[in-house]
Structure 1
Amino acid sequence: MPTILLLIASNVFMTIAWYWHLKGGMAKPVLLVILISWGIALIEYCFAVPANRIGYAGGWSAGQLKVAQEAIALIIFGGFMVTVLGEPLHWRHLAAFACIMGAVGFLFIGW
């Protein structure tokens, strides 16, 4: 459970680091946006690195950690896309999510 919670926190910060500037920050100089994003990403790393270490020490494979991270990232990004960027959720987003969840299922079967 700590691995999942840390991955969730990590993905919240990474989504913000990568996409915050798309809503109201497009006029900012790109170098400033990069520096601000690096600062936000530093916080993300403070969650991601322990998440991966705890998960790996707890018996998760690197593949399981990565695919779980991608599934969480998709959920976090979907919420960000709709609530912050105001973009609609389309059936294709849900289909892509289902494919990622299938990948998660395949890597965790028999674990």
Structure 2
Amino acid sequence: MTLLPILLLVCSNVFMTIAWYGHLKFPTAPLWGVILASWGIALFEYCLAVPANRIGFFHGWSGGQLKIAQEVITLIVFGVFAVVVLHEPLTWRHAGAFACLMGAAAFMFAGRS
């Protein structure tokens, strides 16, 4: 199993988290400007996510496995972003959501060599 899809998904999720939530640090920015900036940032996310999924799929990952891996990575990236950028504390609910996604990942990857 190649780790390249995971690395690309981590990088793409950093861009997407910034695109989706970075504007929250700028509440007075005009909405149209925020939308354009977010789309510009999201372009880089797509440039990483699409190859990650193609590479993973052609190395034997199923679509479901790719999606679950992406969700786990998203939660980790967002958790770091929430604490570092938005200064929000992580709570037991975050831990519960992470545990549920890790369980989903375990089910999706169980029995894979």
Common fold, TM-score beyond 0.5? yes
What CA distance in whole angstroms lies between the structure 1 residues aligned with 2:32 and 2:60? 40
Aligned length in residues: 110
Q: Deviations over 1:30-55 (max 9, x none)?
A: 11100000000000001000000000
Residue aligning to 2:15: 13
What CA distance in whole angstroms lies between the structure 2 residues aligned with 1:31 and 1:56? 36
Quick one: which amino acid aligns to residue 18 of structure 1? Answer: W
| 4+ long deviations beyond 6 Å | none
TM-score (norm 2): 0.96
Structure 2 portions without partners, runs of 5+: none
Quick one: which amino acid aligns to residue 60 of structure 2? Answer: G
What CA distance in whole angstroms lies between the structure 2 residues aligned with 1:103 and 1:95? 12
TM-aligned CA deviation for residue 28 of structure 1: 0.7
Residue aligning to 2:71: 70
TM-score (norm 1): 0.98
RMSD value, Cα:
0.4
Structure 1 portions without partners, runs of 5+: none
- Sequence identity, in percent? 66
